Amino acid sequence: MSGPLLEIEELSVSFPSDAGALPAVRSVGFAIAPGQTVALVGESGSGKSVTALAAMGLLPPSTRVSGSVRFEGRELLRLAPSELRKVRGGSIAMVFQEPMTSLNPVLRIGRQIEEVLALHRGFDAVRARAEAIELLGHVGIASPERRVDQYPHELSGGMKQRVMLAMAVAGRPKLLIADEPTTALDVTIQAQILKLLRTLCREQNMALLLITHDFGIVAHFAEQVNVMYGGKIVERAPVVPLFASPSHPYTRALLAAMPRAELGRARLEAIPGRVPALDQMPAGCPFAPRCKLAFDRCVEMPPLSRVLGDSTGQHVACWAVETETT
């Protein structure tokens, strides 16, 4: 199949509040090709999780979502609820940040996996149970035939996230959305889970939308990177040029703030200030108040996303970069 698997265009999300609508995501657009791994990077509050939840139709009904989310050419935002449910958990699966609270505490693990198998692959009870055990073994859980009858509280955090992954791949999805899948876990467990995630993607030729704040994970995993700030994508680039020559001042600052072994004693730079609150979003570039390069136009007008001239596939939304290069 040619063309992108998932294509998001002009996606905007706002939450209603007493002070008017609060924009959480503003005109976001990116695409994922089949089997590709794309990262969505940013600090907490940058709108990356909201983007994913909006695409899946999982935000509360009071939220206003506009734009377009096309999956295999079908517009998800205008799909009938029953059709959308077939996509959710079937073609697109999702793994969340908190394995502790994301599994239902009163249902056996097996039952929670079997549910997906029955719903999206039409398995009967016996086959579903066998497949659930198989899946548990496949995600690296020892003695799965015993674990299948246990409850979530009897498992460790890492094991719960493995169960979440088993549940996610049970529907044979073409796209997996992983929202900070390792943030809540210990460092050693993080590496194991990431490795498992990569194996699963390769085996099933599954595309991955990886939502994270960790550039280390991005560097190891992603092919394409979208950097989000203040509800906007400020820079989009393939992983190699992004790390080699970050263009947006925010990306540069983030990378400078990341400790790296090869830099040795080089100074780590913190970004002054904090992410603006939703009701205090600047009119111009969201990063302008914290940006060292900001000038008048940055505060007045939001910059448009432009392709950088050097054919590396880098897109940047920044007035300063634009004036630098032209």
Partner 1 sequence: MNDGSSDPEQLGERRTPFGEVWQVFRRDRLAMTGLVALAVLVVCALLGKLLTEWWVVIDPATVRLPDKLRPPLSGPSEVIGAERLPEFGFYLFGTDDLGRSVFARMLQGSFVSLTIGLVSVGISVGIGVLLGGIAGYYGERKFLFVRIDAWIMRFTDVALCFPTFFLILTVVALLPPSIFNIMIVIGVTSWMGTARFIRAEFLSLRERDFVLAARALGLPSWRLIFRHMVPNALSPVFVSATIDVARAVLTESALSFLGFGVQPPYATWGNILADGRAFLFDAPWLFLIPGSAILLIVLAFNLVGEGLREAMNPKLRRARA
Partner 2 sequence: MWRYLGRTIVERLLLLVLISIVSHAVVHLAPGSPAEVDSLNPMMKAEDVLKIRKSFHLDEPLHVQYWYWLSDLFSGELRSFRDNQPVLPRIWDRFLNSLPLFAATTLIVWGLSFPLGIAAAIRRGSRFDRATTFLAYTLISVPGFFLSYVVILGMSRTFDLPILGNRTIGVEGASAFVQVMDRLWHLVTPALMSAMTGIAILSRYVRTQMLEVIGEDYVRTARAKGLPEDEVVYGHALRNALLPFVTMFGFLLPGMIGGSVIFEQIFAWPGLGRLGYEAVLGRDFPTILTLNFFAAVLTLVGVLISDLLYALVDPRIRLS
Nearest approach, Cβ of 281 to partner 1 (angstroms)? 10
Contact between residue 282 and residue 299 where contact means Cβ atoms under 8 Å apart: yes
Contact with partner 1 (CB under 8 A) among 8, 38, 50, 92: 50
Nearest approach, Cβ of 11 to partner 1 (angstroms)? 14
Contact with partner 1 (CB under 8 A) among 180, 215, 251, 294: 180
Binding at 239: pick from partner 1, partner 2, none (beta carbon under 5-8 Å per type): none
Contact with partner 2 (CB under 8 A) among 64, 153, 195, 260: 153
Contact with partner 1 (CB under 8 A) among 21, 22, 255, 258: 22
Contact with partner 2 (CB under 8 A) among 34, 90, 241, 282: 90
Checking 147-154 for CB contacts under 8 A at 24+ apart, the result is 147/109, 148/108, 148/109, 148/110, 148/113, 149/108, 149/109, 149/110, 150/108, 150/109, 151/105, 151/106, 151/107, 151/108, 151/109, 152/103, 152/104, 152/105, 152/109, 153/105
DSSP 3-state assignment of 102?
helix
User: Does residue 46 bind partner 1 (CB under 8 A)?
Assistant: yes
Contact with partner 2 (CB under 8 A) among 47, 171, 230, 284: 171
Nearest approach, Cβ of 280 to partner 1 (angstroms)? 9
User: Does residue 47 bind partner 1 (CB under 8 A)?
Assistant: yes
Q: Which residues are CB-neighbours of 75 under 8 A, at least 6 positions away?
A: 68, 69
User: Does residue 101 bind partner 2 (CB under 8 A)?
Assistant: yes
Give whichever of 13 and 237 is closer to partner 2, judged by the CB atom: 13
b (16+ CB within 10 A) / e for 246-263:
bbbbbbbbbbbeeeeeee
Binding at 174: pick from partner 1, partner 2, none (beta carbon under 5-8 Å per type): none
Q: How far is CA 20 from CA 17, 72, 131, 278, 280, in A?
A: 5, 35, 49, 11, 12
The DSSP result for 163-205, as a single string, is: HHHHHHHHT--SEEEEESTTTTS-HHHHHHHHHHHHHHHHHHT
What CA–CA distance (Å, rounded) separates 260 from 69?
A: 36
Give whichever of 72 and 98 is closer to partner 2, judged by the CB atom: 98
User: Does residue 88 bind partner 2 (CB under 8 A)?
Assistant: yes
Contact with partner 1 (CB under 8 A) among 27, 49, 226, 247: 49
Give whichever of 123 and 229 is closer to partner 1, judged by the CB atom: 229
Q: Which helix (H) or strand (E) holds 60?
A: none
Strands of the chain, DSSP E: 6-15, 22-32, 37-41, 64-71, 74-75, 92-95, 175-179, 207-212, 224-229, 232-238, 306-307, 315-316
Nearest approach, Cβ of 256 to partner 2 (angstroms)? 34
Binding at 89: pick from partner 2, partner 1, none (beta carbon under 5-8 Å per type): partner 2
Binding at 107: pick from partner 1, partner 2, none (beta carbon under 5-8 Å per type): partner 2
User: Does residue 121 bind partner 2 (CB under 8 A)?
Assistant: no
**Hey, CA dihedral for 66, 71, 75, 76, is it positive or negative?**
negative
User: Does residue 1 bind partner 1 (CB under 8 A)?
Assistant: no
Q: Rule CB under 8 A: which residues touch partner 2?
A: 56, 58, 81-82, 85-90, 93-94, 96, 98, 101-107, 115-116, 119-120, 151, 153, 164, 167, 171
Q: Rule CB under 8 A: which residues touch partner 1?
A: 15, 17-19, 22, 24, 44-50, 53, 97-98, 180, 277-279
